[in-house]
Structure 1
Amino acid sequence: MTTPPCVTPTHLAAELGLKPKTLRAWMRRQGWRGLEEKGASWCITPEQEASARAHWSSNAEHAGLDDIALIDNLAEWSAWASFAEVGPLAPRLPGVYQFRVTGQLMPVYVGMAGERRGMGLRGRLSMYRRGKAATSGFGEAVLDRALADEAFVARQLDRLREEGPQRTSAWARDAVAWFSPDIRWAVTADSASALLLEAEVEKVLRPHGIWNRPRNLD
């Protein structure tokens, strides 16, 4: 069996009309490469190549706008706003939330919250604000990508030298602040409705390289 040729960021960037540095930075933010791999040759997987092409191709912007419009029509969403500002104001009701990186139109993560002992969306989002969800959901996704960002790690190491060791929750909070995400949400009738809406949104977003862990949505 013939081994398929290695597709490198340099080759793919040339096809997409990008600077290799720009493409590599975006790919690192997707969590596709860790610091321990710095300096090693980078062969892009077919799945990574497909996600990159969907995100950066000349038609991606139009396709993305169509998909955003499709998601807009799935529910009554709140207005996009800074997570740092409106996170504490989320309703204590079940629902679905989306995150996007400030300056981008396409959401990068979708999640849901059930009743959570009467705290609903506010309870789930408070876990991210307090750094208590470093190993699940958006908290895990954003921390993974921050740890793959050399600038973030360098800043955290400077802080370590100046202030001493920090708890994992502090690193998780810093990771969220590093990406400065925007958020919006939609309230649902119950947990079951939230699960259904989350799955619908994730199906639309999946081709755009979202940060959610892969799962079977069929």
Structure 2
Amino acid sequence: MSTVEPLGLDEGLTVSVHTEDGAVQLEGAPGPWLAQSAEVWEGVGRQIEVSGIRATPELAELRVADELHVSEATEIAEPMLSGSGMRLAVSSGLLQFGEGADGAAARDLLASLDDDTVARVQSSWAGEGVIHIRTGARDDLLPIARAVGELPEASVFDTIGLFSGSSAGAEEPLDGGVDWGGAAGARRSPCTRRRRSCSSAPRPAWPSPRPPRSSRCRWPATGSR
């Protein structure tokens, strides 16, 4: 891992770091949060498959590949941010969330579904009072709708949208992308399936800083290791 050192530049500078695939996104004034974000990315990634991180001086949002690993990722990352003043949010390939949402109500809803119904869910997105659930097959829409409609946990949402196919709607994250928004606290996994071993898929390398050429620093994009 390349250590991120404080740049010691003008107070008004904004550092913007993005990997080519968008997995790593950093935005904010230079400071210790850069190194702390790198520590979270590398530390959690050594034990769990991670697919994205976005960080600002106030918030570190980590995305893990499997919702089953959200609680474990939180347990690993929280001590790394202790005393930093940064909040931690953890999303997953199954559940992402937007600005103003913390994902807690959506996780409670998904956790209440039986295993067969959860297996039909391709992905989900939670906003303020909204949850969108996407399935890969049209035939799965009705079974999911019935199961969700029977849950008391569904009553906290103003809107529950069900979608089939792979194309994302305007309020949903794009397929293969990372939706970054409000903070999320770790809750119980929405899946009760037996835990699987972590994939050995490579994660993108942490970007190495270079001196800025202007008041807005954009570090070169990097590919996956």
For normalisation by structure 1, the TM-score amounts to: 0.26
In terms of fraction of residues, the more helix-rich structure is: 1
In terms of fraction of residues, the more strand-rich structure is: 2
